[in-house]
Each structure stands twice: as structure tokens, then as C-alpha cells.
């Protein structure tokens, strides 16, 4: 049999090409794909992008069972909101314009990065806007609505949020912590030779500040000053005894990336010394997954899962000013947590189905990962992408499974002697036989899965207790069967 992966299965193998497989095999393949969705990932959208041409995306956490999304439109001329009962539903939800810039004068220029917040029973939209005759004279403004549903009419422009300096101001967000409400934003400060820094202040009301601004981040590191000296787009995630603030840096092309600030939850958030900036970016362009310039994010939740919402393009080269390239699309993926309680974002995901991590049932704190392209099990894997996989249609037809690397999508788990590697796809029978498995109920419990080599039904993928992932014939040995059983997370 001659194998052609790219013609048989595309983008994770969910669809069989018409005429390639008989109808019964195609149905079996589709059913198998459906069974592969782990329960904990079932409510996370796998469509990528979630919404096209919506940059600077902001998605609320569920409010009365509804998610609401807003973001920058390519025309930079209005504020839009859409809502749905699931994250995935936002993709096709009707979008409504709740405010449009005036034809001339103040706020008649570019409209950027709206955020939607529910505060004390009212909705507020914080957004940045320029003037018609000076579109880059950007300042922060606020809309208010007393309606239960932000898609309804009744929005009232309440004016500008006044800060200490009448300068370039954008990307405001707000959050509550320990009984106090804070305002967090980006601004150009007189006397500092940067495009924008990050500031925080306490709020007196949802419309005005109640304290002087405190500068908590200035772009100084090499990855923050590519093209422009920028810290912008802050987003807040309070978990594990800390206040985390992600932010975006550099120009809005493929150099755009995300950084991280951290403060102890008991610290004085209005003291700049409380904040520590991570030395390296936490989310960057990835050529292998074809995601460029990821950033300007927000956070939402699905059940007890934290979800990263961000924009990125699917191509690197841009004609003209990247700010006016329309194809920064809204994307979502799960936030993972390191053993020390810090967030791990991995790589911006490419197309495909659900993403999983595999943990052996006898060592649940370990996960399968690749290192130097060799598969092994490790604990506290900081390089999240190395431990993320997709279980896709295999190379030997219906009923078989391949294990695709997430951060190297052209590589699949493949038997190399008794061990396993992630190797680039080859259109050959030999590759198909060594990279195709049969997924079965876990040998040590049906809440797990086991992977049997399709070409040798006696041998299963297992860890050997010394960190290596190998092929074994576990037979009826209880310990061996546990080492060959994995839970999906």
C-alpha cells in the first residue's frame, strides 16, 4: 500500500478525502475521531481561528451563562459585541455595533481595543480613540449601559478617563482584588523615551481614578523594543497566591509577543517594587505552527479551566503598515500551570483537533514529552509545547491512530527500535507501520487509554520507569499494564 498522508488526511486527519476510503471506513474514522475528545477538553473550541479579523480580543468570563466578545475591527471605526452560551458559539454569533465614532472631531479617528466589564450591575466599555484630524491622538474613553445584556441599546458615552498626563493612552483594563478596584493601562509618559509603559491606579468609580498612577513596567529588554518600544495590552489573572499581568511588546508584526509581570497577592499593588517582570517573553511567534505576532490577550474560563484569548496572524510577510493588515484573528487555547503555580502558555496552536497531554496512571505527576525529539516521561515540564499532542487518524487506515506533536506538527511519534521518537512525516510504508497505533481502553483501567502498535498487536507504548518511552509486551503483569496506560489531560 502506498501512503500519502497529505491527500488522505489534512489538518489533523478528521476528514477522509472522498473516494480514498470506502464509506464504512470513513464513518468508522469519524466515530473514532469523536471518541478521541477527552472530557476535560470537550468544551474548548478547536476551531482556529475562533473569530476572523477581530484583533485585541476581549472575552468576558461567563455572565449569567453567557460569554461576550469585543475587539478591534479592521476599519477601527466602531465598538462591537457578540454573545453566546459557549466559547465556540461566539464564532457564529450575531455581532452588534453598540457605538460608532462621530463623523468628525474628537473620537472621530481610530477606535482601538475595547474591553467589556460588568461592574456593580452595569456594563462598561473602555476603549481608545483618536480624533478625526489627528487619528493617533489616542486617549481612553468609557461607555456605560444599565441593561442586563450588553448587546442591547442604551449605551451612553461617559467621556474620557483622565490620567496624570494628556498623552497617548490606550489598552485599559480593570479588575477587583481584595475589595479594591484597579485600573491598568498603557501610556506614553513625558520624559521617558518609549512609546508606552504600563501603569496602575486605584479607581474611585468605574469612570475615574482614585489615586495617582504607578508605573509598573517600561520596555527595556531586547524583545520589548523591536520596531517600537512598547508595553501594552495588559490582562490580569489572579491565581495561586499571585497577581499575574500579561502584556504585549514590540511592533504589531511577527515580532509582537507577550510578557509577564507577577506580584504577590498580599503585596501593595500600587508599589512598583511589588512587581517582577519575567526576563523572557512567555508567548511568541512560532514558524512551525504558522502563528505570527501572538498577543494583546485576555482571559476567560471554561468550567475550572483558564483560557487564553489572543490574536495572531497565520503569515509572516505583511505589505505596508502591519497595523492596517486586517488578518489578526481571535484565537483561544487552554492555560496550563507549572508546579510552582506560574502560568504556562506553550506555543500558539496551529490547526487541528483537541490537544492533549498524556500522564502514566502509575506516575500521574509525570507527562509524556519529547526532548531532542526522543519521547520520555518527565515532571514539571516547563516547555509546555513539548508535552502537547494531537491523537489523529493513523497512516494504516481506519481504526489506527497517529500521535502528532503540537509544536512540530510535521512530526509524529514513531518507533525506533524499542524506543520512540517524534520524526518528520515520510510518505512510505515503513513510516506508516512504525507511526501507526491502535487506541484501546486502558490496560490498567478504562479511565485511561493504551496505544498498541498497529503492526504488532502484542506491543504497547509504555514508560520503562527510568524516564524513557518504549514499546513493551505487558502481558498480564499488573505493573507493566499500568506503565502502558495513560490518562489524557
Q: What is the pLDDT of residues 289-341, one digit of tens each?
A: 999 999 999 999 999 999 999 999 999 999 999 999 999 999 999 999 999 99
pLDDT tens digits for range 205-257? 999 999 999 999 999 999 999 999 999 999 999 999 999 999 999 999 999 99
Query: At residue 113, does pLDDT exceed 80?
Result: yes
pLDDT higher than 60, residue 385: yes
The count of residues in the chain is 489
**pLDDT tens readout for residues 71-108:** 999 999 999 999 999 999 999 999 999 999 999 999 99
Q: Which residue intervals of 36-162 are DSSP H helices?
A: none
pLDDT score, position 29:
38
pTM of structure: 0.91
Residue 383 has pLDDT above 60, yes or no: yes
Instruction: Output the nine-digit C-alpha cell for 336.
Output: 496550563
Query: In this structure, which topology does domain 55-344 adopt according to CATH?
Result: Tachylectin-2; Chain A (2.115.10)
Contact call for residues 333 and 355 (beta carbons, < 8 A): yes
Condensed to tens digits (0 to 9), the pLDDT of residues 162-193 reads: 999 999 999 999 999 999 999 999 999 999 99
Hey, is 133 helix, strand or coil?
coil
User: Mind giving me the DSSP string for 68-94?
Assistant: EEEEE-TT--EEEEEEESSTGGGGTS-
- Mean pLDDT, the chain, whole residue set: 92
Cell of 390: 494531537
The Cα angle at residue 34 between residues 30 and 36, in degrees rounded to 5: 120
Catalytic site residue from 56, 224, 253, 386: 56
Q: Give CA–CA dist 31/406, Å, rounded.
A: 22
pLDDT of residue 15 exceeding 50: no
Question: How far is the C-alpha of 153 from the C-alpha of 150, rounded, in Å?
Answer: 8
pLDDT at position 42: 54
Domain 5-41+354-488 part of CATH 2.80.10.50: yes
Range list for CATH 2.115.10.20 in the chain: 55-344
Any idea what DSSP says for residue 39? Answer: G
List the catalytic residue out of 88, 232, 386, 393: 232
pLDDT at position 229: 98
How many Å apart are CA 251 and CA 81, to the nearest integer?
Answer: 26
Is 208 marked active-site? no
At a CB cut-off of 8 Å and minimum separation 6, what does 22 contact? none
Query: Catalytic: 232?
Result: yes
Q: What mean pLDDT comes out for the span 128-132?
A: 98
Q: Which three cell numbers stand for residue 419?
A: 524506543
pLDDT the model gives residue 4: 46
> In which residue ranges of the chain is CATH 2.80.10.50 found?
5-41+354-488
pLDDT tops 50 at residue 281? yes
Amino acid at each position: 500500500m502506498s501512503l500519502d498522508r497529505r491527500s488522505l488526511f489534512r489538518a489533523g486527519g478528521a476528514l477522509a478525502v472522498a473516494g480514498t476510503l470506502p464509506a464504512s471506513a470513513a464513518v468508522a474514522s469519524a466515530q473514532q475521531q469523536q471518541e478521541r475528545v477527552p472530557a476535560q477538553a470537550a468544551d474548548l473550541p478547536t476551531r482556529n481561528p475562533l473569530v476572523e479579523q477581530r484583533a485585541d480580543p476581549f472575552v468576558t468570563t461567563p455572565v449569567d451563562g453567557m460569554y461576550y466578545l469585543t475587539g478591534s475591527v479592521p476599519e477601527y471605526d466602531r465598538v462591537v459585541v457578540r454573545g453566546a452560551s459557549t466559547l465556540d458559539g461566539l464564532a457564529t454569533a450575531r455581532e452588534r455595533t453598540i457605538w460608532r465614532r462621530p463623523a468628525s472631531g474628537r473620537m472621530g479617528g481610530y477606535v482601538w481595543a475595547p474591553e467589556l466589564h460588568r461592574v456593580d450591575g452595569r456594563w462598561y466599555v473602555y476603549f481608545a480613540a483618536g480624533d478625526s484630524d489627528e487619528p493617533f491622538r489616542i486617549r481612553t474613553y468609557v461607555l456605560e449601559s444599565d441593561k442586563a445584556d450588553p448587546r442591547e441599546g442604551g449605551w451612553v458615552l461617559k467621556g474620557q478617563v483622565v490620567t496624570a498626563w494628556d498623552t497617548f493612552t490606550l489598552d485599559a483594563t480593570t479588575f477587583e482584588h481584595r475589595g479594591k478596584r484597579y485600573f491598568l493601562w498603557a501610556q506614553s509618559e513625558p520624559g521617558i523615551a518609549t512609546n508606552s509603559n504600563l501603569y496602575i491606579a486605584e479607581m474611585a468609580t468605574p469612570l475615574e481614578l482614585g489615586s495617582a498612577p504607578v508605573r509598573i513596567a517600561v520596555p527595556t529588554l531586547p524583545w520589548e523594543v523591536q520596531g517600537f518600544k512598547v508595553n501594552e495590552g495588559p490582562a490580569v489573572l489572579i491565581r495561586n497566591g499571585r497577581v499575574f499581568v500579561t502584556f504585549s511588546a514590540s511592533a504589531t508584526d511577527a515580532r509582537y509577543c507577550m510578557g509577564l509581570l507577577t506580584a504577590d497577592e498580599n503585596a501593595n499593588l500600587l508599589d512598583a517594587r511589588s512587581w517582577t517582570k519575567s526576563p523572557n517573553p512567555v508567548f511568541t511567534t512560532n514558524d512551525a505552527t504558522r502563528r505570527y505576532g501572538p498577543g494583546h490577550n485576555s482571559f476567560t474560563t471554561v468550567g475550572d479551566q483558564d483560557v487564553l484569548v489572543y490574536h495572531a496572524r497565520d503569515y509572516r510577510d505583511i505589505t505596508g503598515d502591519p497595523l492596517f493588515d486586517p488578518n489578526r484573528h481571535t484565537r483561544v487555547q487552554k492555560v496550563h500551570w507549572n508546579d510552582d503555580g506560574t502560568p504556562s502558555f506553550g506555543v500558539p496552536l496551529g490547526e487541528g483537533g483537541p490537544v492533549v497531554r498524556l500522564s502514566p496512571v502509575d506516575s500521574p505527576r509525570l507527562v509524556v514529552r519529547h526532548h531532542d525529539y526522543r519521547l520520555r516521561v518527565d515532571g514539571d515540564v516547563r516547555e509546555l509545547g513539548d508535552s502537547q499532542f494531537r491523537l489523529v487518524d493513523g497512516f494504516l487506515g481506519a481504526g489506527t491512530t497517529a500521535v502528532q506533536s503540537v509544536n512540530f506538527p510535521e512530526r509524529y511519534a514513531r518507533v525506533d527500535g524499542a524506543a520512540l521518537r517524534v520524526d518528520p512525516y515520510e510518505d512510505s510504508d515503513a513510516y506508516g507501520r512504525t507511526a501507526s497505533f491502535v487506541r484501546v481502553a486502558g490496560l490498567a483501567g478504562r479511565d485511561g487509554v493504551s496505544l498498541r502498535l498497529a503492526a504488532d498487536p502484542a506491543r504497547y507504548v509504555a514508560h520503562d520507569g527510568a524516564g524513557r518511552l518504549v514499546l513493551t509486551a505487558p502481558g498480564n503483569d499488573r505493573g507493566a499494564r499500568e506503565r502502558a496506560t495513560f490518562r489524557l489531560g
